[in-house]
Amino acid sequence: MRRRYKLLLALLVVIGVPYWWLLLDNRPGSAPPAPLPLAELRRLAAQVPGPLPTEVAIQQVGWRRVPGNLFVAGSGLKRQLLSIQAAELSGPWGSVVIDSGFGPEDAEAFGLEAYQPQNQARIDAAMRRARLIVFTHEHLDHMGGLLRLPDFATLLPKALIPPEQAPGASLAATLPWPKGSAALVKPFHYSGMTAIAPGVVLIRDPGHTPGSQMVFARLADGREVLFTVDTATMTQSWEQVRARSRLIGDLVVHEDRAAVYAWLKAIRALKQADPALIVVPGHEAERLLYGPIGSRRLTWGFPPPPPADQPAKSGVAKPAALR
């Protein structure tokens, strides 16, 4: 009997310790939150002259359900909906598209349960009518939509691509860039935080990837929105300061775990400083639908693309601060 207990204990150690380490461990450490002052974000949001955005829309292009522990360490085995999506800030000044979805071949490679090409067409049309396009980081499900477009070279001038997201960067080099992209991309350099349009601020937050950046927007009616990139995969990520599991974060994505925790703490502190702030995680859908979308603080879905005989207008004008 004693031998049987020893074997059972050994089995628990052999299986339990790796399981805890790879999927449950969520020790955020004692490091302070990363610097993310709300007053500075608001100051920068007022820096570029022009009318502020009036609408924020989220467009889902596909989804799959995964065990919660994978992308929110220690959150349980219950499967959560992981949404692939983009966002659009629009108003009198024009529009800013945040992320670009991706193509059907990419959706298949990602193992999506559902992919909606008609929704990707809406994102494509949004990029064509946008004044600016920004990417939250250099992963295929965020940059792939633009890279797959046949008119990529035409739209590229209005895409603000930091050096870490450009073709020559180590991680970005794995993306399906069209031939000759390296010569076409003119990297957008900035440090810390910078305003790119009326009411819109980019925030460097390397950790998930070297080129990760969040987007803060202040709207004409006073609404404020923070797009957290994949630093916070889900709402639960920043609410409970839970990073990805080590299985995903360390072995698959190779992110800087300590930096991710520092930014998660900063996001939570920012929300605590202003509970009215709308936080949009990188792959959230359900909590958004029942929260800010359900209360009409955000819009679900982009406008449909124009008929084939009425192509979307493509503008590349940039605000004075970027000329």
Q: pLDDT (tens digit, 9 = 90+) per residue, 87-142?
A: 999 999 999 999 999 999 999 999 999 999 999 999 999 999 999 999 999 999 99
Alpha helices (H) in 20-56, listed in sequence order: 38-45
Any residues with CB less than 8 A from the CB of 201 and at least 6 apart, and which?
41, 44, 45, 193, 194, 195, 215, 216, 217
Residue 308 has pLDDT above 80, yes or no: no
Residue 118 lies in a domain: yes
Across 68-139, the runs of DSSP E, i.e. the strands, are: 79-91, 94-98, 114-115, 132-134
Radius of gyration for the chain, computed over Cα atoms and rounded to the nearest angstrom: 20
> Tell me, what's the pLDDT at 317?
40
Residue 296 lies in a domain: yes
Residue 2 lies in a domain: no
Residue 6 lies in a domain: no
- Residue 32's Cβ-count burial label (10 Å; 0-12, 13-18, 19+) is exposed
Residue 28 lies in a domain: no
> Tell me, what's the pLDDT at 13?
66
pLDDT average, residue stretch 293-320: 72
Cα 204 from Cα 194, distance rounded (Å): 9
In percent, the amount of the chain with pLDDT more than 90 equals 87
> Tell me, what's the pLDDT at 10?
66
Residue 7 lies in a domain: no
> Tell me, what's the pLDDT at 312?
52
Q: Tell me 285's DSSP state.
A: -
Beta bridge partners of 257: none
Beta bridge partners of 217: 200, 225
The C-alpha angle 45, 186, 204, rounded to 5 degrees, equals: 40
pLDDT average, residue stretch 258-273: 98
Range of the domain at 209: 37-322
> Tell me, what's the pLDDT at 313?
52
For the chain, the domain total comes to 1
Residue 89 lies in a domain: yes
pLDDT average, residue stretch 60-78: 96
Between helices 117-129 and 140-147, what is the axis angle to 10°?
70
- 173-182, 215-224, 309-318: least confident range: 309-318
Q: Tell me 244's DSSP state.
A: -
Beta bridge partners of 65: 81
Residue 29 lies in a domain: no
Query: Residue 130 maps to which CATH number?
Result: 3.60.15.10
Mean pLDDT of the chain: 92
